[in-house]
Structure 1
Amino acid sequence: MSGERSAQHIEVFGTVQGVGFRPHVHRLATGLELDGWVRNANGHVELTVAGPPSALRDFVDRIRSDAPPLAAVRRIRVTGLSGRPPAPGTGFTVRGSSAHAPDAPCEIPPDAATCEACLRELFDPADRRYRYPFINCTDCGPRATVIDDLPYDRVRTAMRGFPLCPPCAAQYADPADRRFHAEPLACPVCGPVLAWNGLAGEDALRAAVAAVAAGGIIAMKGIGGYQLVCDAGNAAAVAELRRRKRRPAKPFAVMVRDLAAVERLARTTRSERGVLTSASRPVVLLTARAGQLCTDVHPGTDRIGLFLPTTGLHHLLLHDLERPLVVTSGNRAEEPTAIDDAEARRSLASVADGFLTHDRPIRARYDDSVATVAGRTVLTLRRARGLAPAPLPLPVPAALPLVAAGAQLKHTFTLAEGRHAHLGPHCGDLADAATLDAFETSYTDLRRLTGITPSAVAHDLHPGYLSTQWARSWPVEHRIAVQHHHAHVAACAAEHGVQGPFIGVAYDGLGLGDDGTLWGGEILVADLAGYRRVGRFATAPLPGAEAAVRHPSRMALGYLYGAETLGTPRPAPWLTKPFTERLDSREVRLVRAMTERGINCPRASSAGRLFDAAAGLLGLGDEVSYEGQAAVALEAAAGDIHTDALPWRLVRAEGLWVYDPVATLTALLEDLASGVPVPRIAAAFHATVAEATAALVERTVAAGAPRTVCLSGGCFQNRRLLTAVRTLLRAQDLRVLVGSAVPVNDGGISYGQAAVAAARLAKAKG
């Protein structure tokens, strides 16, 4: 009958705080003429609502279907109302937050780039936020980088020191306004203010713009840390930034004003444009147009990292300077990005010509996310600002709350409980005490915010990793050791919800195997709880251990003088002579002696080191300054050339199928001696590794392995290799998976460790 009413208590779980969810619920309820209230609880949203049953059903459906763009509704719990229902006609209100203990881990909303509505206001002279760098609303702005605690309210953020002025307070309280309960809400009257050497506001911005225009380098306080900025078209400025930052060769990211500016600098696909304009605004690796920027921006590769402005301040800088800008992390090599003002001035004093700062504290360190696109697959290479720490699913729930400590390079950690894993922000390489401190601080903060108190720790096997040493402070009965390459392929499987057995192809630089040797070119048959090794690359010595990683020419000598003996004769001296003669003769003699005597020459079955060796033989880099540089040069040399593979050979050794690359490297040297152009040989080398991989997988399937293949490891950042391997495996009618939201490089290791630990805990429970 027309007067029938029902009342319900509803709890909504997911990313529902800091994303305009309470205003969304208020608008829905008001539009349906329902009575009740909504509030933030500790990590979720709860509400009481009363009205006609049909309207209530519509309301619950639309809570999920019409959710704000930044929200992620994972679960809605509807129960009958035990207390007195709201009286008819009392309306719907937003109540103050409740801080009762959560019954599930809390989700922290990532930061979001400036939305179109705020951008229009930013450049509207009639708007009171005209040219205000900290403009935001419920659909955009800082989140993870300003939160102190949950429930997410202004008093528990870095904005608590900025009382709202009357006009802002009115917007904050108006359900019809898009800034209704936008916690970082601010304006020029009541919000943060820019500063530059005693200047404030617009004067500070003008001074910073003038410094960049004159060829200077500025340190700018960004949303998740300081950034170093210079004119990307000024070769002298870029070269000076490289010298001061101690970053001789690794490409810089370049920020441009809009998609039209992107198209002037690079060729893009529809998928790439979609990633560029997403709310996370990652750096996207694109194919550069020649001659548009100085070559020192992205030396050694035709791939350029471009991204669009993420904050009002970035938009203003690009508008006023009208040129592409190098925007890179505010640190020197091997150091964490600075977030504290005093720390930034200490660490960047020798790098920056001036500091553009402001008075809003940064609560958490978040570098820029990085992505690339292979076909239509988006590969997240660095999961940070705009993406982390949004949760990822765990196919097997974690029976105990746990932390996964990650690896050493491209370090991340993961907190997991139940079906959710919170992959923390990219921390960098755990090279020293400073980066370890940054990891520990980030871990402490995210543990507090999510409410996850780990009772177990998953870690890598390598005893030298700082992350492993950190995990060893836990009691031994609470530690779960996870082999590096199992973690790689488990990360891919878990992201795609694969629980059952699969084939894992793990190609990377180095990881410690369960036999105590170094692995890196592995074929595994695995599930989330365990694995067995069924194939690998042949081993070669690393002359001088770490020195071989820094010197691809040494790695090449390791293969020439010490590759695993599998029946293929090593290259004749006349083939190797042109290569060895261009090197220092004393080093060649030393490396040969080390290799033949096995002195400081650990052996590795590494795909990454094989790529280094090929690059060294082809003269594409005898020394590297960042991890993966030689492989980047090899991929760049190959370009888009299509050619046949070089010879390759599989052998059976100790129960495993082994790819013997000696035949490949011999043919590479023969082609080089015959005058075949280096780009064609580089393209043929990629085709060879892809064919050998497909053959290893084919033999594994023939032996009864599953037909699902998970590709992981840093080598699959190489789009040419990934595309070729995927094409050949699909031709075998196999299901081929690769990580998208989770990095294929070591940034995804911690998520894989968490997935493995959860599966093992479940298996132990029976």
Structure 2
Amino acid sequence: MARSDSKQHLLLKIGGIVQGVGFRPFVHKLATELDLCGDIRNESDGVTIHIEGKKETIELFCRRLKSETPPLARIDTIESRWCDVEGIEGFSIVESDAAAFKTAAVSPDISVCENCVSEMRDPGNRRYRYPFINCTDCGPRYTITKTIPYDRPNTSMAKFVMCPTCKKEYENPLDRRYHAQPISCFECGPSLRLLHRREKWEAGSEESIGAVAQLLKEGKTVAVKGLGGFHLICDATNDEAVQRLRERKRRPSKPFAIMVKDVETAKKLARVDEMEERLLTSKERPIVLMEKTSPSSLPTPHLSDAVAPAIDRIGIMLPYTPLHLLLFDDLDIPLVATSANLGDEPIITDVQELIRKLGHVVDAVLDHDRDIVNACDDSVVQVIAGRPQWLRIARGVAPMTLPLEKRTGKKILAVGANQKNTIALAFEDKIILSPHIGDLNGIEAMEYFERTVETFTNFYGFVPDTIVHDKHPLYSTTKWASEAAMNDERLTIVEVQHHYAHTLAVMAEHSITDTVLAFSWDGTGYGDDGTIWGGEVLKADVHGFERVASLRPFRLLGGEKAVREPRRVALSLLFELFPLDEVLALKNPTVESFKPSEIKLLHQAWQKGINAPLTTSVGRLFDAVASLAGICQHISYEGESGLLLEARVSDVKKNVYGLPVKNGVIDFAPMIEELALASTPDAPAYFMRALCDCIVQIARQYVSLPLIFTGGVFQNRTLYNMVLEAFEEEEREILIPEKIPVNDASIALGQAWYAFHREEK
């Protein structure tokens, strides 16, 4: 063994997010500072470092490598071994063959960093007020990438030729902009243009950012191009402006997200706790859902009631691009910042498409000529019991890479669900979850899905040998997978039940393979018996599941129509419990919302099962309670009844509603009967308590199993808080989705996790 003060040589192989995120210049700087020799190069699965010097100095280098990792980098694995000394002089960054990058993880887009903001604010800096300032630690990544490796020629920055000064920065390993692919300045980079809606769309000659600020002050709506698409922006304090946007976009009540200048403004509009502030100001800059402040407590600024009508939550984000920050230099008002799209279509990225589809909605468009290659919406998160719960992973968060515990020889493509769709790829030693694609309810959405599949398969030179899909025969993703199998007989096609996939996704996040008890509650999922599931309790591992409990089945009157009319769900439950004449005699909001003739006709459909499929959905039970409590009879967006119920939850500590469990059936009858005969303002709180008590009752039958709570129902903060509090004293192991969405956006991950372990079965 060589003496500790003699020269040693260590080989390090590092996996994770370590390419295109400033990791190589960080290593170069650290090695040079410690007077170590060697080199670093990108490889197919990360980076390889050769390092020579005194052993104790190399060990210090390794410690600092992990403790001082650049903000965008993430080390998942480190393999090391001592080798023969080679006598390397100095430390260098070695260029690698482009083909070696085909499995390197693509980094998400990241909000502008403080260093760049400082430069942009400095009148003496050459990038003063430059709206596209960026460096290795921030700026666009995924949205400008055509293929990997993530080099400028493979991005939409390829058409912008670097000026000599930018090129010098780009090529200097000690510069913060070393290999920052979107590097540019006023001389060589993208530029803005403002288009006005007059007799025809035309560019204005005025200073575009100042002109947009003036238009917003005047109550106008402007489309502004961000990192992953256009936002529709207007003054969030102007009732007329917000209502006009709702009318033009045909969005009657679904909440709008808002963008505010800084955290101080956010705290005037919402109750911001420590974790929420951390998320608001994080490099990901997501939309954070928080509790509204009382309008009378902090009257300035006062949000329009039309921003998030009738609910107690507000979605807030901070500016995340230099352009947004420059806009707020001229404004001191909260702004509605909602995705520019039509209905369930994807966010719009091209100015001509925007004018064609939304020209009647906006008064002006602030465009720029850095093309968006891959659309990407804003990420959405909320905090429950001090932990983040993601509702949408997109800008700043996805593509998300999760390490596998061992390598796989398969190439698995999981195509997800129909609502809140994402896709997942499993290969080598990782699973990659795509950003939010959306609801696949139309041609444009399916085209976007197919483009996303093409994007990710191109990124990684990926030709799937296994495609995993949901069991629902009418899902667009199921049909797509079937067509793929018909066109390629070598493909293995695997189907995974919806609620089992929800469970598997949480297991994947926590790398769990053993048996768990999962409460998988949502609105809709195709069950193994051909009915619509949604209130399932599963005893599951990575090879299969047993359905140990479920909500008592009931009919959805009118099928899909019942999803938009909570009163139809409630009426169906009344038919389950009372004869027709007694239903007609009831004095409650549900019955009073129908004409007697309508009730009689729907009763016939219920009796014969005509367009009235069976379901066990807890999500639909929320609808029924909202109707019977007189809170809403119709909804205009998914989950509205749950939000309205949550906004009306009183502070009760008891449960007066029965929700008994017998022989694996959760019986809603006692609760619905009481609610039908005598509603109370405390009904929403009693309902949540009944659900929580039911969960505790079932969980106590399986005391040795870790618990999982997943599915869209657990987006309800009140219910989730109650459940977590209930198990605190029992010291049960609870696996909570903290990185992945709790809703259908994680289905693809669960599908991939199942297919990965299917090899071992």
Normalising by the smaller structure, the TM-score range is: over 0.9
Q: Return closer, same or farther for 1:697/1:598 CA change in 2, 3 Å cut-off.
A: same
Instruction: Pick the aligned partner of 2:434 from 399, 424, 427.
Output: 424
The one of 654, 665, 668 aligned to 2:672: 665
Residues 395 and 746 (structure 1 numbering): CA distance in 2 closer, same or farther, change over 3 Å? farther
Residues 1:159 and 2:157 are matched in the alignment:
yes
Q: How does 1:208-357 map to 2 (within 5 A)?
A: 208-291=212-295, 292-357=302-367
* SS at 1:474 equivalent: helix
Instruction: Return closer, same or farther for 1:534/1:493 CA change in 2, 3 Å cut-off.
Output: same
Could you say which residue in structure 2 is the equivalent of 1:696? Answer: 698
**Structure 1 residue 186: Cα displacement:** 1.5
Question: Which residue among 513, 517, 540 is the counterpart of 1:499?
Answer: 513
Whether the 8 Å contact between 1:113 and 1:281 is mirrored in structure 2 is: yes
2 CA distance for matches of 1:105 and 1:585? 63
Q: How do 1:322-401 and structure 2 match up within 5 A? A: 322-394=332-404, 398-401=408-411
The Cα shift of 1:368 comes to 0.3
- 2:298 — aligned with what? none
After superposition, give the CA deviation of every residue in 1:138-157 in whole Å (9 maximum; x if it has no partner): 11111111122222222222
Residue-pair matches, total: 743
CA displacement at 1:469 relative to structure 2: 0.9
The two structures have a TM-score, normalised by structure 2, of 0.93
CA distance in 2, matches of 1:593, 1:583: 15
2:95 match: 96
Overall identity of the aligned pairs, in %: 39
* Worse overlay, 642-651 or 273-282: 642-651
Unpaired stretches in structure 1, ≥5 consecutive residues: none
Paired with 2:251 and 2:407, the residues of 1 have a C-alpha distance of 42
Q: Rate the CA distance shift 1:155–1:6 in 2: closer, same or farther, 3 A.
A: farther
Matched, 1:18 2:20: yes
- Return the letter of the residue paired with 1:664: M
SS of the equivalent of 1:591 reads helix
Secondary structure in structure 2 of the residue aligned to 1:158: coil
Give TM-score scaled by structure 1 length.
Answer: 0.92
Q: What's the counterpart of residue 467 of structure 1?
A: 477
Alpha-carbon distance between aligned partners in 2 of 1:436 and 1:262, rounded to the nearest angstrom: 36
**Cα distance in 2 between the residues matched to 1:324 and 1:423:** 32
Aligned residue runs from structure 1 range 61-100, under 5 A: 61-78=63-80, 85=86, 87-88=88-89, 91-100=90-99
CA distance in 2, matches of 1:232, 1:667: 42
Q: Is the 8 A contact 1:41 1:151 kept in 2?
A: no
Letter in 1 for 2:28: H
**CA displacement, residues 20-51 of structure 1 (integer Å, 9 cap, x when unaligned):** 11110110121122233333344633344433
In structure 2, which of residues 648, 666, 671 is the aligned counterpart of residue 637 of structure 1? Answer: 648
- Which residue does the alignment assign to 1:128? 126
1:394 and 1:495 in contact (8 A); partners too: no
One-letter amino acid of the counterpart of residue 217, structure 1: T
Contact kept in structure 1, 2:19 and 2:42, CA below 8 Å: yes
Q: Which position in structure 2 is the counterpart of 1:35?
A: 37
Question: How far off is 1:606 after superposition?
Answer: 0.7
Measure, in 2, the Cα distance between the counterparts of 1:729 and 1:517: 31
Q: Is the Cα contact below 8 Å between 1:507 and 1:716 reproduced in 2?
A: yes
- Mapped to 1, the partners of 2:511 and 2:39 lie a distance apart of 37
The amino acid across from 1:228 in the alignment is: L
Question: Cα 1:37–1:78, aligned 2, differ >3 Å: closer, same or farther?
Answer: same
Q: 2:193 aligns with which of 167, 192, 195?
A: 195
Distance 1:398 1:346, change over 3 A: farther
Q: Structure 1 pair 577/721, CA: closer, same or farther in 2 (3 Å)?
A: closer
Shift of 1:168: 1.8
2-structure distance, mates of 1:762, 1:399: 12
Distance 2:458 2:305 in 1: 45
2: CA distance between counterparts of 1:76 and 1:545?
Answer: 53
C-alpha deviation, 1:404, in angstroms: 0.8
Name the aligned partner's letter for residue 555 of structure 1.
V
CA contact (8 A) 1:17 1:43 kept: no
CA distance in 2, matches of 1:312, 1:200: 21
Instruction: Give the aligned residue type for 2:646.
Output: E
Quote the Cα distance in structure 2 between the aligned partners of 1:745 and 1:396: 27
User: Residue 657 of structure 2 contacts residue 686 of structure 2 at CA under 8 Å; is this kept in 1?
Assistant: no
**Long gaps (5+) in structure 2:** 196-201, 296-301
Could you give the per-residue CA deviations for residues 556-583 of structure 1, whole angstroms, max 9, x where no partner exists?
A: 11111136x9xx9998765455531232
**Rounded Cα–Cα distance in structure 1 between residues aligned with 2:268 and 2:136:** 32
* Contact 2:380–2:390 (8 Å) recurs in 1: yes
Q: In 2, are the aligned partners of 1:395 and 1:494 still within 8 Å (CA)?
A: no
Distance 1:385 1:201 in 2: 32
Conserved 8 A contact 2:567-2:593: no
* Deviation (angstroms), 1:478: 0.7
| Distance in 1 (alpha carbons) for counterparts of 2:211 and 2:535 | 52
2:198 corresponding residue in structure 1: none
Contact kept in structure 1, 2:659 and 2:691, CA below 8 Å? no
Alpha-carbon distance change, 660 to 195 in structure 1, aligned in 2, over 3 angstroms: same
State the one-letter code of the partner of 1:604.
T
Equivalent positions of 1:445-464 (< 5 A) are 445-464=455-474
Structure-1 separation of matches of 2:231 and 2:595: 40
* Partner amino acid, structure 2, of 1:484: H
SS of 2:207 mapped into structure 1: helix
The answer for the alignment partner of 2:639 in structure 1 is 628
Give the letter aligned to residue 490 of structure 1: L
How far 1:76 sits from its partner (Å)?
3.1
* Contact 2:509-2:737 within 8 A present in 1 as well: yes
The answer on whether the counterparts of 1:570 and 1:662 sit within 8 Å (CA) in structure 2 is no
Which residue is equivalent to 2:177?
179
Counterpart-to-counterpart distance in 1, 2:56 and 2:174: 25
Cα pair 1:529 1:757 within 8 Å, conserved: no
CA drift at 1:399: 4.5
**Which one-letter code corresponds to 2:621 in the other structure?**
L
Residues 595-625 of structure 1, C-alpha deviation per residue, up to 9 Å, x if partnerless? 1222111010110000000001112211111
Secondary structure of the 2:660 match is strand
User: Aligned partners of 2:628, 2:515: CA distance in 1, in Å?
Assistant: 39
The range that moved more, 235-244 or 405-414, is 235-244
Would you say the 8 A contact 1:150–1:449 is kept in 2?
yes
In structure 2, do the counterparts of structure 1 residues 605 and 576 end up closer, same or farther at CA, with 3 Å as the change threshold?
Answer: farther
Report the Cα offset of residue 521 of structure 1: 0.5
The equivalences for 1:570-581 within 5 A come to 574-576=585-587, 579-581=590-592
The alignment partner of 1:39 has SS state of strand
2:560 maps to a residue whose letter is E
